[in-house]
Structure 1
Amino acid sequence: MDTGHGALALPSFDDRPILRDRVARELRAALIAGEMRPGVVYSAPALAAQFGVSPTPVREAMLDLANEGLVEAVRNKGFRVTELSDRELDEFTEVRALIEVPVVARLAGVVTPAQTAALRPVAEEIVAAAEAGDLIRYVEADRRFHLSLLALAGNEHLVRVVGDLRKRSRLYGLSRLARGGRLAASAAEHLELLDALDSGDPAAAEQVMARHIGHVRNLWAGPEREG
């Protein structure tokens, strides 16, 4: 088992109660960017020293990430980044497709122009974040878009299920894809999806949503799985 001692590129914060959320956000960003690697154990005191805070808010933030399935506690050592297999990622994709594709298809012709108009700034934020290479902003806006869209179906349990899946299936390799311009192409599909909904064509909405989820799985893939 690899124990991480290398310093991460983490900002320094003042020690205040709100630090728990800020630390958790920065750690999520490090996870998404691939700076925190699966199999490596990270100790709360070591991370706290890099943040310039006490270990307590770091431990609390790591426990939040553990509850989301992103890391797991290692007794007396710290936290280890959870490693997901290709099979698990494929299964996450399958469940999302089974839920989101038919739901979005049913929304076509039902959602109002005002409802899609409210989502359009979020879709534009996703595109802007992708173009800027702002990965944490991209992921947060992407999550907000998809869960808000599903909420229009009026099923809170469905939204919670998909939200939990999204937490557990963080995106891999986003830094590399953002540099290559491929992330922006996936981001633009959110605007395409809204256009399909505005057209009132269930088949078009279903096609765009299915293609988008397939592209998301490709974003999760490592270099050996791409293409």
Structure 2
Amino acid sequence: MSAHPPKARPEALAERVYQALKDDIFAFRLMPGDRFSESEVATRMAVSRTPVRQALFRLEREGFVDVWFRSGWQIKTFDFAWFESLYDLRTVLECEAVKRLCALPAPQCAALLDALSQFWCASAPLADGLVVSQHDEAFHITLVAAAGNPEMTRIHAELTEKIRIIRRLDFTRDDRISATYREHAQILQAIFQQDRATAQQILTDHIAVSKAEVRKITLHRLQQARLQLTE
């Protein structure tokens, strides 16, 4: 038997590099506008340039990086108009999901959303903004998935992935964390009461505040967020 461990498959290496770079982008270890070369990434991750290039082209297709053929790669700068358009689409999909949930028999709806109710209405609030942001994302994904339309769920999951990088900034302040708990509980209560208009209004306002926060984001705030997320 060979004493050497088997080499990782090229696809596995590319996936590992892709996930590591995406984590760096989401954690703001790589900031919008940062430039780097394939060789720098390959050296840092102890792989060849081929899986690095595959990972970077995948990230380019997803809108996270730009390629500069003469000067390497760059983390894509924020296009705030694009993010706001995604928030608008998110509002449309989630309001439709609420409409469908309110039309379900009350016991069925309660069963579908029981885990959300336990977390947002019956558990002690968490203080860690990063963890709360993950639960917030799961809350909205679950609402749409519970409505039972696979295509709505797929499209919503895709846009959720695209806004994750900027959405996390909404949970670097204690008041926004508290508001998220309160508003999520109100949305669930209105759904359980089959009060579609109230649930949709609270949800729309809830997303609108997050959208407004996007407009306030500056490079200075991004730098602050990087410090907070790495403390």
* TM-score normalised by the chain length of structure 2: 0.69
Cα distance, 1:151 vs structure 2? 1.9
Pick closer, same or farther for the CA change 1:133–1:97 going to 2, 3 Å.
Answer: closer
The alignment partner of 2:216 has SS state of coil
Separation in 1 of the partners of 2:136 and 2:149? 19
Separation in 2 of the partners of 1:16 and 1:76? 30
How does 1:1-227 map onto structure 2 within 5 Å? 16=8, 18=12, 20-75=14-69, 77-110=71-104, 111-120=108-117, 128=126, 131-134=127-130, 140-172=134-166, 174=168, 178-188=171-181, 189-223=183-217
- Could you give the per-residue CA deviations for residues 13-57 of structure 1, whole angstroms, max 9, x where no partner exists? xx8555544543443333233332223323233133334444444
- Could you give the per-residue CA deviations for residues 141-189 of structure 1, whole angstroms, max 9, x where no partner exists? 44443233212222222222222222333443845x5443244135423
Pick closer, same or farther for the CA change 1:223–1:144 going to 2, 3 Å.
Answer: closer
Q: Which runs of 4+ in 1 moved over 6 A?
A: none
Among the aligned pairs, what percent are the same residue? Answer: 25
Q: Which amino acid aligns with 2:128?
A: A
In 2, are the aligned partners of 1:122 and 1:145 still within 8 Å (CA)?
no
The alignment partner of 2:66 has SS state of strand
Structural RMSD (CA):
3.4
Separation in 1 of the partners of 2:20 and 2:41? 11
Pick closer, same or farther for the CA change 1:179–1:153 going to 2, 3 Å.
Answer: closer
When you count helix as a share of all residues, which structure comes out higher? 2
- Could you give the per-residue CA deviations for residues 102-127 of structure 1, whole angstroms, max 9, x where no partner exists? 331331252521111133467589x6
Pick closer, same or farther for the CA change 1:193–1:101 going to 2, 3 Å.
Answer: same
> Looking at CA atoms only, which structure, 1 or 2, has the larger radius of gyration?
2
Pick closer, same or farther for the CA change 1:82–1:203 going to 2, 3 Å.
Answer: same
Separation in 2 of the partners of 1:142 and 1:22? 26
The alignment partner of 1:169 has SS state of helix
Cα distance, 1:205 vs structure 2? 1.2
The alignment partner of 1:151 has SS state of helix
Separation in 1 of the partners of 2:65 and 2:39? 16
